[in-house]
Copies of this chain bind each other. A is one copy, B any other.
């Protein structure tokens, strides 16, 4: 079980895919010259360079990734590190699409490196660094003090985080402005006369948890509304837990007349809980929710939504990592996207 080629002569131009040796044979040049000609090295004659590149294009030469990787250590791989059981569904595919879109025009491949509940989140990161399996890494579920970011920085591995850190270290990131989202959501609810607001927050521990909380609190004091505590659940809880908890709080004497929800799936549960308690959306209570695909308005037209574009996030993250690999300053590869305000019903939102 081995390759069919056994002759050590270069004459074998017919089979297998072309290599530098093939190209060298066809052009009558040395492999070194061909290699350099293909990457526009300065010490190659213009004429020769053009000739080599022409032939390469003609026969469809593509550098062997294993060869390059073995020699240079460059993998041409970007790894997207995902939590296999925590990440919310649609989220992930959108990010993947966004990343793919950007990587498609480059020699880079996207590999998905999963880790599950049972594992240390650092494990895949260490694996990537130790084995040098990727040239760059994208991580999500970013924490204020994120050991992954610190580790990657220490080991000189380019990366970008979905969400910001707060460690005094500078690195590329892409983030959605959840502070602005929460403020906008509260303002909107206040403008509808809602005064007792509850927040279904992101999971504590992640950076955007406090962003959201702060935005919520800032806007509360701005508009003079009050908060109904709802912090025994987060969007990481199950649908059933959120639903039950919502129903509970809605049955109390002093109950929320407005909700801010950080995730679409969770919003379904909130609304179900509201209705479990015999109350009506739009009359007794209003809900502002983030969503990543434009479906919530079908669920209940009364819902107020803010769109978060995860596909864009994927693209930005990919661009950031590539930029860092390409030598750009990490500090110049940060982006923060602000939503275009709260949308009632289905008005398209370009981001």
Which residues on B sit within 8 Å (CB–CB) of A64? 70
Q: Mark A63-83, 1 if CB is under 8 A from B, else 0.
A: 011110110010101000010
Which residues on B sit within 8 Å (CB–CB) of A69? 65-66, 69
- Say whether B3 contacts A73, CB under 8 Å: yes
- Say whether A66 contacts B62, CB under 8 Å: no
Residue of B nearest to A265 (CB): B295
- Say whether A110 contacts B109, CB under 8 Å: no
Which of A17, A70, A93, A265 has its CB near the most chain B CB atoms (within 10 A)? A93
A92's partner among B93, B243, B272 (CB-CB below 8 A) is B93
Which residues on B sit within 8 Å (CB–CB) of A104? 114, 116
A322 within 8 A of B: no
Which residues on B sit within 8 Å (CB–CB) of A209? none
- Say whether B65 contacts A131, CB under 8 Å: yes
Which residues on B sit within 8 Å (CB–CB) of A111? 77, 109-112
- Say whether B293 contacts A131, CB under 8 Å: no
What are 11 A-B residue pairs whose CB atoms fall within 8 Å in the complex?
A: A3-B73, A17-B130, A65-B131, A66-B69, A67-B70, A70-B70, A91-B93, A100-B114, A101-B114, A243-B298, A268-B299
Task: Give the 10 A-B residue pairs with the shortest CB-CB distance, closest first.
Answer: A100-B114, A92-B93, A66-B69, A66-B70, A89-B90, A268-B298, A93-B93, A111-B111, A272-B298, A89-B93
Interface residue ranges, A against B (CB under 8 Å): 3, 17, 60, 62, 64-67, 69-70, 73, 75, 77, 82, 84-85, 87, 89-94, 96-97, 100-101, 104, 109-114, 116, 130-133, 239, 243, 265, 268-269, 271-272, 293-295, 298-299
